[in-house]
A and B are shown apart, each in its own frame.
Chain A
Amino acid sequence: MLRRASLRYHLRQPWQAALAVLGVALGVAVVVAVQLANTSAERAFQRSAEALQGEATHRVSAGTAGLDEALYTELRRAGIRPCAPVVAGYVNAPGGDPLRLLGVDPWAELGVRDAVASAALEVDAGRWLSRGGMAVLFKPEAERLGLGAGDLLPVEAGGRRHELEVAAVADPPDELTAEGLRNTVVVDLATAQAVLGRLGRLDRIDLVIPDGEAGAAVLEQVKARLPEGAVLKEAGEGAAALDEMTAAFRLNLTAFSLLALLVGALLIYNAVSFSVVQRRPLLGRLRALGVARGQLFRGIVAEGVLLGTLGTLAGLPLGFALADLLLDLVTRTISDLYFVLSVRSVTPAPGVLAMAAALGVLVSGVASAGPAWEAATVSPRTALERASLEAKARRLAGPLGIAGLALGGLGAALLWGYGGGIVAGFAGIFALLVGAALIVPWAVRQLAVALARPAGALVGTPGRMAARGVASGLSRSGVAAVALVVAVTAVIGVSVMIDSFRTSLTTWLDSTLSADIYVRAPAQTGETPPPLPEGLAAELAAVPGVTGVGTSRRLRAPSEYGEIRLRAFDHGPEGDAGIVYKDRTAQAWADYRAGEAVYITEPFAAHHGLAVGDTVAFRTPEGERRMPVAAVVRDYATSQGAVYVSRTFYAESWGDGVINGVAVYAEPGADLEALIGALRQAAQGQGQALQFRSDAEIRARSLAVFDRTFAVTRVLQLLAAIVAAAGVFGALLALALERTGEVAVLRALGLTPWQVWGLELSRTGLLGLMAGVLAVPPGLLLAAALTGVINERAFGWSLQLSVDPALLAKAVALAAVAALVAGLYPAYRAARVAPAEAMREDG
């Protein structure tokens, strides 16, 4: 019977229930979307890693320099099998689509990657041996590219064009393999070496080593044959490292999705508490009839859970649809920042759906517990009036504010007082946000009371009424303000963080891009750019208008910290002018130039706990070289970090003269477009298409990648703001409904509907304005936490906090406008209140 009464109540207040359902639906949808996008990207990556790893247990590699192919012959001769050599890299298909070129020995693949072996062996052994340039495509890829056996597949790698002949189209053995080998073209080793410019070199040799003593003996045999600079490691390590690269990025997204759910929970709280307030007299009568407190408590919580369940049910499919949009943004960000990733569709993950569903229902239950307790404590003798409820809300505001301060303090301690990890950082942010939310009702009341007099002086009684209305309806206006403050805090925090990041990046780009034109061969993200032709730097230096050139060599090299990114620079005429130091020794530059020390980037220092004075050991073809760290430098190019070495040290240790970037310094006032034309002319005849980019173009492209990276964050921020606006709308509508009688009296006394509009909108605008102002301090704290703590813990970057007052003003204005927009309908309803409603109802 009680359930029936409760159901009927909500059917009679459908808008309130609908808003609560919408809030949870949006919150759950965002969580589902982010998690599905994350898991789909992760799964695509894992599938690909698994398919490429096959049965291999171990892997021999030597970073970008690669292995001499003679090592493979030596290992086979020593009877170490299965043993499969691999040359792999990315090429561009027509239209610029990246394709993974997998160069293998078809027969050696047996027992390592059977799917690849059987595909490759569809081609005659004779044809493999007699002709180069043949490729095997898997059916889905062939269909996508519209190719069949015998067709030509033009590809471009490192600025050179090649034509491959599709020798066969193979059926993948199963769905998983098909997914894992998506975008893959199988070629023989020699073809891959020719296309990728790695003649005589192998990227790695995959091994299948049995467990136990026999395996250990084989490993010893392998180790004994490894040249200097080569390392033997477990096959899964590389994939795990790549996966770890994106972990912080994915965690950031998860945190944002939980914020949206938190705001959604406020909506449930609002809806359930409103329903309790409205039914207080009824609840009092039920208590008088003998309904126990526990029964009322359970009944109200059940209502919240029911609303939450409905919201969750709506949120799951909505999240699935939203995941499609997010997946594109997430994949693009990973491809921009980390490595080429191709994910075509969202993978349904029952675990994610179950987790989001449980979270939606649980959060709804927790959010309704407060109002349920309120309902359970209704006195059976008297139904409390609204005024006494507000008095109670006012009494609670102080202690809640103190609890908020304590929680905020705990958050600050987690963020700044104790060096925990990124999860502790997010816990600190959560505590900070909840702490700020708890302080809001008290602060709103103080502000509203303080503003009543000046508002009255400014616009008379309506101004006073607007300010006092905010203070007196604290149980409603407090919830609306909390929803707004949380959302605007997030907007300020994230916007200031993005702004600070952009400013830091721009400052760094301005310093580091000291040359005028940069030359390199095209390469995919995460791939080392291919070598430039020998003598290119000298040819470019001789072009009229060029005052000097610098060169760079980028590679991955084995070290005591695994495979690391190494940058070998010949800094050109500007010396270290382009380097932004964070910390260094007095002799840093001299030691670095002399090849007696290295520089490390901030993220590298953060990930490996290194500082100036520590050392880094490299495995070079000349043996292990341990070098002191002379400086920690700012570098926003990669969050995994890198080590800078001088060209002198590189030449000594790696013994090659390879370069893959040239920085060209032009005469002051030179026409860069014309100079690029002249440089192109000089580089012609090398047979390699090169990229010539001015410093301005690189800056613009870097900032474009930056903006794309944060596009997903902005989408999530917007969604959280929408949920908050729904919360404000619900709270204001509830407030307007409760104030019907008061408005009717005012109308009877002679207030026109327009004056009621003005009064209501002043109230909501004031509430929004106050929420905006109150969101500034926690917003700045959040920005400081995101820039100074989260970024440093997640990526190792220290960012300079830069606060643009215009941005803060915009955020405050946004809060006021959001409240005004959310208040339009409630104000419209209030203005339509008939003065006759002031009369008693039974006449």
Chain B
Amino acid sequence: MSKALMQLSGLSKRYPEGDTERVVLDGCDLDIRQGEALAIVGPSGSGKSTLLNLIGAMEVPDQGALWFASEDLARLSERARTLFRRRHLGFIFQQLNLVPTLTVLENLLLPLELNGTLDADGRRHALALLERVGLQGRDASFPEHLSGGERQRVAVARALVHGPGLLLADEPTGSLDRETASVVLGLFDELRREQGMTAVLATHASEVAAKADRSLELRAGRLQEVAPA
């Protein structure tokens, strides 16, 4: 068994709801293994996005720890968490993926620029990735001129461009039709495997979960392993 890239232990998260609190995560434990594709499944409102937010250092848990290398993300400052996301994570969201005021290529170059690694090689790499996702020649287009499937393909390329250690995808095909979703998902899986990247996908689509190495179901705030079909 490969070693864990990230370890979640006793993770809890509650949100105020009127005068009471809603427990979304209730002591979750999880090892995210290096190089695996892990699907988090569960019905709407089960807390998949919350778990992804915690893994992505976008929120901090009320209790528990998230170990990445030798650091507990839960104890990092806001700035340190921002830098962590910038260096180590790649994101694919359901809808709000691309920056509308940047061209396709500029969207790809943004993570490189933020990390201070934008140079001629980086630019070549970005163009190569665009070609891989089938969008060669569209580098100067703005997102509003792309179809939903094309936008998600750009999002996949952008998530990979700076070689992050962990990819997070929140319903990556949720806004696409079945056929387009299949193309995007195939591309995502292929590129991820080529670059040996770890991925966590939150989804309630069975075909997305089926592409994963492992599936966990989030139910009543806890994670349970789902047996392969």
Contacts and interface: CB of A to CB of B under 8 A. Distances in A.
Interface of A: 387, 390-391, 460-461, 464-465, 468-469, 471-472, 741-742, 744-753, 834-836, 838-843
B96 A469 contact: no
Interface in B58-114: 58-59, 78-79, 82-83, 85-87, 91, 93-102, 106, 109-111, 113-114
A748 B91 CA distance: 8
Contacts of A741: 95-96
Interface stretch (B49-57, B121-129, B177-185): B49-57
Nearest to B109: A461
Given A461-B102, A461-B106, A838-B93, A749 B49 contact: no
A444 to B, nearest CB: 14
B83 A750 contact: yes
Given A387-B100, A461-B113, A752 B45 contact: no
A749 B57 CA distance: 11
B206 interface: no
B36 interface: no
Contacts of A465: 99, 101-102
Contact of A749 (B48, B50, B52, B114): B114
A843 B99 contact: no
22 contacts: A461-B102, A461-B110, A469-B101, A472-B101, A741-B96, A742-B96, A742-B99, A745-B97, A747-B82, A748-B58, A748-B93, A749-B110, A750-B115, A834-B59, A835-B56, A836-B59, A838-B96, A839-B58, A839-B170, A843-B48, A843-B49, A843-B50
Nearest to B51: A843
A417 B93 CA distance: 60
Nearest to B97: A745
A747 B220 CA distance: 29
Nearest to B170: A839
A390 B49 CA distance: 30
Q: Which 6 A-B pairs have the closest CB atoms?
A: A843-B49, A750-B86, A468-B101, A741-B96, A835-B58, A836-B53
Contact of A843 (B45, B56, B102): B45
A750 B49 contact: no
A390 B91 CA distance: 27
B217 interface: no
A839 B95 CA distance: 8
Query: Which of B93, B100, B111, B171: most chain A CB closer than 10 A?
Result: B100
A117 B155 CA distance: 94
A460 B82 contact: no
A745 B154 CA distance: 14
A319 B170 CA distance: 54
B44 interface: yes
Nearest to B98: A745
B95 A840 contact: yes
Contacts of A838: 58, 91, 93, 96
B102 A464 contact: yes
Contacts of A460: 113
B99 A839 contact: no
Nearest to B113: A461
Nearest to A752: B82
Nearest to A835: B58
Contacts of A839: 49, 52-53, 58, 93-94, 170
Given A461-B106, A464-B106, A834-B58, A750 B100 contact: no
A836 B99 contact: no
A745 B48 CA distance: 18
Query: Which of B47, B93, B95: most chain A CB closer than 10 A?
Result: B93
Nearest to A840: B94
A742 B101 CA distance: 10
A391 B102 contact: no
Contacts of A835: 53, 56, 58, 85
B92 to A, nearest CB: 10
Contacts of A752: 79, 82
B144 interface: yes
B174 interface: yes
A750 B111 contact: yes
B102 A840 contact: no
B144 to A, nearest CB: 4
Contacts of A746: 99
A836 B58 contact: yes
Contacts of B93: 745, 748, 838-840
A364 to B, nearest CB: 32
B82 A843 contact: no
A404 B54 CA distance: 52
Nearest to A740: B96
B58 A745 contact: no
A747 B93 CA distance: 13
B111 to A, nearest CB: 6
Interface string B132-165: 0000000000001000000000000000000000
Contacts of B50: 843
Nearest to B83: A750
B202 interface: yes
A745 B111 contact: no
A594 B116 CA distance: 88
B116 to A, nearest CB: 11
A748 B99 contact: no
A713 to B, nearest CB: 41
Contacts of B44: 842-843
Interface in B161-209: 170-171, 174, 202
A836 B58 CA distance: 5
Contacts of B99: 465, 742, 745-746
Contacts of B47: 843
Contacts of A834: 58-59
B59 A750 contact: no
A840 B171 contact: yes
Nearest to A448: B101
A750 B83 CA distance: 6
A745 B101 contact: no
Contacts of A749: 85-86, 91, 110-111, 114
Nearest to A744: B96
Given A748-B91, A839-B93, A464 B101 contact: yes
B144 A748 contact: no
Contact of A753 (B78, B100, B144): B78
A111 B31 CA distance: 109
A843 B91 CA distance: 16
B56 A840 contact: no
Contact of A840 (B49, B59, B82, B86): B49
A236 B67 CA distance: 94
Nearest to A839: B49
Given A461-B109, A750-B83, A843 B100 contact: no
Nearest to B202: A843
B62 to A, nearest CB: 14
B113 A843 contact: no
Contacts of A836: 49, 53, 56, 58-59
Given A460-B113, A461-B109, A469-B101, A842 B96 contact: no
A465 B102 CA distance: 6
A752 B115 CA distance: 12
B85 A750 contact: yes
Given A838-B91, A840-B94, A748 B56 contact: yes
B29 to A, nearest CB: 20
A738 B58 CA distance: 20
Query: Which of A472, A747, A749: most chain B CB closer than 10 A?
Result: A749
A468 B86 CA distance: 23
Given A745-B93, A843-B45, 14 more contacts: A387-B144, A461-B110, A464-B102, A465-B101, A469-B101, A472-B101, A742-B100, A745-B97, A747-B58, A752-B79, A752-B82, A836-B53, A842-B49, A843-B170
Contacts of A468: 101-102
A829 B78 CA distance: 16
B80 to A, nearest CB: 10
Contacts of A742: 96, 99-100
Nearest to A471: B101
